[in-house]
Amino acid sequence: MTFLGAFALTLFAGAATGIGGLITVLKGNPGDRFLAGALGLSAGVMLYVSFMEILPEGISQLEEAWGKAGVWAAVGAFFLGVLIIAGIDRLVPEEVNPHEPEMIGTPSSKRLLRMGVMTALAIGIHNFPEGFATFLSGLEGATIAIPVAVAIGIHNIPEGIAVAAPIRQATGSRRKAFTWALISGLSEPAGALIGFLVLYPFITPATLGLCFAAIAGIMVFISLDELLPTAIATGKHHVAVYGVIVGMAVMALSLLLFL
């Protein structure tokens, strides 16, 4: 596949977050049930993909490079990712930190806005190496690249919902909700371009493995410390849990059908 073909597939996969944002924007007056379900769904997607795809990929890359020691390195990188995001969380002033238990009940607009932006940044960080991986598979051939791009596109849709839902709820702006959802996905083609121009000569299975494992740790922490508590704070506990299960199922089906 040509450079342009591989990049087009990466752009398609990343832009699917915009579909999730569009779903949120078109939905009339999303309330607590929708917010709880959307955040729970995103947590389910992030937890499932972290434990079933990203961390195993990191272990595989590192084990190939370093043998048995690579497995230990992957586990260490996973918890390093947890410590990094937890440290960042602790450095944020308490009065603006959405993780602090400032309320019981519906989250405040400030907390929801920060939640949406933080989720967008987290997804963007995750999508950056994912975009580079999609691009590389495209250069290898369409047989591998098309199923990978479709699978990534499918699981990017609920990620877009998770970004857009709290931002729309907080600001009332459909445009801002859609824009942030789309931006979070466009880090994938950015990852493809930067990876190709700058990182490609230095990328090894070991460095990729460490990155994947650390990203998995970051995503798990965000799901457990940010997405789920906020979903439950809406007062729709069961809806939030159902969203987690649906998110896991969507991610599982996308992997089973297309990978």
Amino acid at 194: I
| Binding-site positions for Fe(2+) | 127, 130, 156, 159, 188
The pLDDT of residue 97: 47
Is the pLDDT score of 90 beyond 80?
no
Check: CB of residue 252 under 8 Å from CB of residue 52: yes
The pLDDT of residue 121: 75
Which tens digit of pLDDT belongs to each residue from 159-208? 787 788 778 878 878 888 899 888 888 888 988 888 788 767 777 888 87
The pLDDT of residue 244: 93
Please tell me the distance from the alpha carbon of residue 175 to that of residue 183, in angstroms, as a whole number.
Answer: 12
Helices (H) and strands (E) in the chain, counts: 10, 0
**How high is the mean pLDDT of the chain?**
79
69 or 196, greater pLDDT: 69
Q: If you write DSSP's letter for every residue of 100-152 in order, what string do you get?
A: S---SSSPPHHHHHHHHHHHHHHHHHHHHHHHHHHHHHHHH-HHHHHHHHHHH
Measured in residues, the chain has a length of 259
Please tell me the distance from the alpha carbon of residue 36 to that of residue 238, in angstroms, as a whole number.
Answer: 9
Is the pLDDT score of 29 beyond 70?
no
The pLDDT of residue 145: 66
Please tell me the distance from the alpha carbon of residue 166 to that of residue 108, in angstroms, as a whole number.
Answer: 10
Sign of CA dihedral 81, 82, 84, 85: positive
Is the pLDDT score of 259 beyond 60?
no
Is the pLDDT score of 148 beyond 70?
no
Distances in Å between the Cα of 158 and the Cα atoms of 110, 165, 167, 233, 244 are: 22, 10, 15, 20, 11
Mean pLDDT within 103-115:
61
Please tell me the distance from the alpha carbon of residue 53 to that of residue 63, in angstroms, as a whole number.
Answer: 15
Check: CB of residue 168 under 8 Å from CB of residue 176: yes
| Binding-site positions for Zn(2+) | 130, 155, 159
The pLDDT of residue 198: 78
- Assign 137 a pLDDT band (cuts: 50, 70, 90): low
Please tell me the distance from the alpha carbon of residue 147 to that of residue 259, in angstroms, as a whole number.
Answer: 6
Is the pLDDT score of 95 beyond 50?
no
212 or 111, greater pLDDT: 212
71 or 111, greater pLDDT: 71
Contacting residues for 96 by C-beta, under 8 A, at least 6 apart: 110, 114
Check: CB of residue 214 under 8 Å from CB of residue 78: yes
Is the pLDDT score of 28 beyond 70?
no
Is the pLDDT score of 103 beyond 60?
no
11 or 127, greater pLDDT: 11
pTM of the model as a whole: 0.67
Distances in Å between the Cα of 70 and the Cα atoms of 63, 178, 213 are: 4, 40, 11
Amino acid at 181: A
* % of residues, the chain, pLDDT over 70: 81
| Binding-site positions | 127, 130, 155-156, 159, 188
- Which range, 11-25, 73-87, 214-228, is most confident? 73-87
